[in-house]
């Protein structure tokens, strides 16, 4: 039976230790090999992806080359730029992989704006580090020019931090839905989406970074997906992680996962937001299913339903 599936792909699945375009394209070719299993199985596929390493590198490049006549672009524009570059590589990699399997199917990338609220508490407490590490002198000079917030990061220098607000809407969700309904593999929500707020009846970009998994959840709910698949580095979510009594979670309910959150079983900034996004999707979709697993486990997920599968 055909299912509409949103797959959230981490930015680190794209970038290896080599940040060149060629290396990232090669990494995406390997990623496309796994993702194509969803399409070969007859499912409708929407892919979102992270961009943390890529946007960080782009900001560093812009900072090094910025001049008064050629200033660096703002963060919302940098997110849009990486949506375009990663989408370009990923859609070509997918089409190439499908051709090898004798499947003719187009792919398209949608620049995706994600609406956030100006009153989101995150704007009063920036927490998401972006861009390069700076010395104290460099930080002081930057603060004089931009009034941005910086924090010391593990003895490695100072990094700019920006708000990470909760997504409330997806501007292009109807376009995404129409594309996937017409048989087009759709890449959307890259890097958590371009953060925008509504001002005087128009959308305006803001200096923020939206969590990729929460943006993916919002897309999945709005396009009425049957399943949200959040890919990470392990086949299963675990409780008592890295302890002698570690246990992998296979089929679990929202209630059980909420109890584990209360027990602080999942690390903030790591597994916790993935679990929270999965729960949010199930609650919004009413009858959807969420899966947290690895890229390499996709075939087992399709054939045997293995991974951490969360239902209402």
Q: What is the DSSP string of 24-57?
A: HHHHHHHHHHHHHHHHHTT-EEEEEE--HHHHHH
CA distance 196 to 141: 28
* Annotated catalytic residue 87: no
Closest C-alpha among 235, 230, 222 to residue 274: 230
Q: Report yes or no: 172 and 188 within 8 Å, Cβ to Cβ.
A: yes
Closest C-alpha among 87, 301, 114 to residue 184: 87
- Looking at residues 12-17, what average pLDDT do you find? 71
* Annotated catalytic residue 205: no
Q: Is residue 126 part of a domain?
A: no
Which tens digit of pLDDT belongs to each residue from 259-308? 999 999 999 888 999 999 999 999 999 889 999 999 999 999 999 999 99
The CATH number for 221's domain is: 3.40.1160.10
Distances (CA, A) of 155 to 131, 137, 158: 16, 15, 8
Q: Is residue 128 part of a domain?
A: no
- Angle, alpha carbons 220-52-214 (nearest 5°): 25
Which tens digit of pLDDT belongs to each residue from 200-227? 999 999 999 999 999 999 999 999 999 9
Closest C-alpha among 130, 122, 110 to residue 172: 110
Q: Say if pTM beats, i.e. exceeds, 0.85.
A: yes
- Per-residue pLDDT at 18 exceeds 90: no
- Looking at residues 61-70, what average pLDDT do you find? 87
Q: Is residue 140 part of a domain?
A: no
What confidence category does residue 12 fall into, taking pLDDT thresholds of 50, 70 and 90? Answer: low
The pLDDT of residue 76 is: 95
**84: enclosing H helix or E strand:** helix 75-100
Strands 158-162 and 128-134: antiparallel
- Per-residue pLDDT at 184 exceeds 70: yes
- Per-residue pLDDT at 169 exceeds 90: yes
Q: Is residue 269 part of a domain?
A: yes
The pLDDT of residue 270 is: 87
The pLDDT of residue 278 is: 98
Q: Report yes or no: 36 and 97 within 8 Å, Cβ to Cβ.
A: yes
- Per-residue pLDDT at 98 exceeds 80: yes
Sequence-distant contacts of 219-222: CB under 8 A, at least 24 apart: 219/6, 219/46, 219/48, 219/112, 219/170, 219/173, 219/176, 219/188, 219/189, 220/6, 220/46, 220/281, 220/285, 220/288, 221/280, 221/281, 221/284, 221/285, 221/288, 222/169, 222/170, 222/173, 222/177
What confidence category does residue 193 fall into, taking pLDDT thresholds of 50, 70 and 90? Answer: very high
Q: Is residue 133 part of a domain?
A: no
Q: Is residue 33 part of a domain?
A: yes
Q: Is residue 215 part of a domain?
A: yes
The pLDDT of residue 22 is: 93
The pLDDT of residue 130 is: 78
Q: Is residue 102 part of a domain?
A: yes
* Annotated catalytic residue 12: yes
Tell me which of 12, 99, 136, 183 is the catalytic residue. Answer: 12
How many other C-beta atoms can be found within 10 angstroms of the C-beta atom of residue 307? Answer: 25
Which tens digit of pLDDT belongs to each residue from 135-165? 888 888 878 777 778 888 767 788 888 899 9
**Local structure of residue 306 (DSSP, 8 states):** -
The pLDDT of residue 180 is: 98
Write out the residue range of the structural domain in which residue 203 sits.
4-115+169-310
Percent of the chain with pLDDT over 70: 98
- Per-residue pLDDT at 175 exceeds 80: yes
* Annotated catalytic residue 212: yes
Tell me which of 274, 289, 297, 307 is the catalytic residue. Answer: 274
What confidence category does residue 59 fall into, taking pLDDT thresholds of 50, 70 and 90? Answer: confident
- Looking at residues 120-141, what average pLDDT do you find? 85
Percent of the chain with pLDDT over 90: 76
- Looking at residues 32-36, what average pLDDT do you find? 97
Strands 107-110 and 128-134: unpaired
What is the number of domains present in the chain? 1
CA distance 287 to 307: 19
Q: Please, what is the average pLDDT of the chain? A: 93
Tell me which of 52, 56, 128, 289 is the catalytic residue. Answer: 128
- Per-residue pLDDT at 117 exceeds 90: yes
**Local structure of residue 301 (DSSP, 8 states):** H
* Annotated catalytic residue 128: yes
């Amino acid at each position: 039976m055909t299912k509409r599936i949103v797959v959230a792909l981490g930015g680190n699945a794209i970038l290896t230790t080599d940040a060149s375009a060629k290396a990232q394209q090669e990494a995406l070719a390997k990623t496309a090999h796994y993702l194509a299993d969803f399409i070969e199985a007859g499912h409708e596929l929407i892919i979102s992806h992270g961009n943390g390493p890529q946007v960080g590198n782009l900001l560093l490049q812009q900072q090094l080359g910025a001049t008064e006549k050629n200033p660096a672009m703002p963060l919302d524009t940098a997110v849009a730029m990486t949506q375009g570059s990663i989408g370009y590589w990923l859609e070509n990699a997918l089409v190439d992989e499908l051709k090898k399997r004798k499947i003719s199917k187009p792919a398209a990338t949608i620049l995706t704006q994600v609406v956030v609220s100006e009153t989101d508490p995150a704007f009063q407490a920036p927490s998401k580090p972006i861009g390069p590490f700076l010395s104290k002198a460099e930080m002081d000079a930057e603060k004089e020019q931009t009034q941005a917030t910086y924090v010391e990061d593990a003895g490695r220098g100072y990094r700019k931090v920006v708000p990470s607000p909760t997504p409330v809407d997806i501007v292009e969700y109807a376009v995404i839905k129409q594309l996937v309904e017409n048989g087009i593999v759709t890449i959307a929500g890259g890097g958590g989406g371009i953060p925008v707020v509504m001002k005087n009846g128009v959308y305006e970009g803001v200096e923020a970074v939206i969590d990729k998994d929460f943006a993916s959840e919002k897309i999945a709910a709005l396009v009425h997906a049957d399943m949200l698949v959040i890919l990470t580095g392990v086949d299963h979510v675990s409780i008592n992680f890295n302890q002698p009594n570690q246990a992998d979670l296979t089929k679990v309910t929202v209630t059980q996962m909420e109890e584990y959150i209360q027990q602080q079983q999942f690390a903030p900034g790591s597994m916790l937001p993935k679990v929270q996004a999965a729960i949010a999707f199930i609650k919004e979709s009413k009858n959807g299913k969420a899966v947290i697993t690895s890229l390499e486990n996709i075939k087992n997920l399709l054939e045997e339903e293995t991974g951490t599968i969360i239902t209402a």
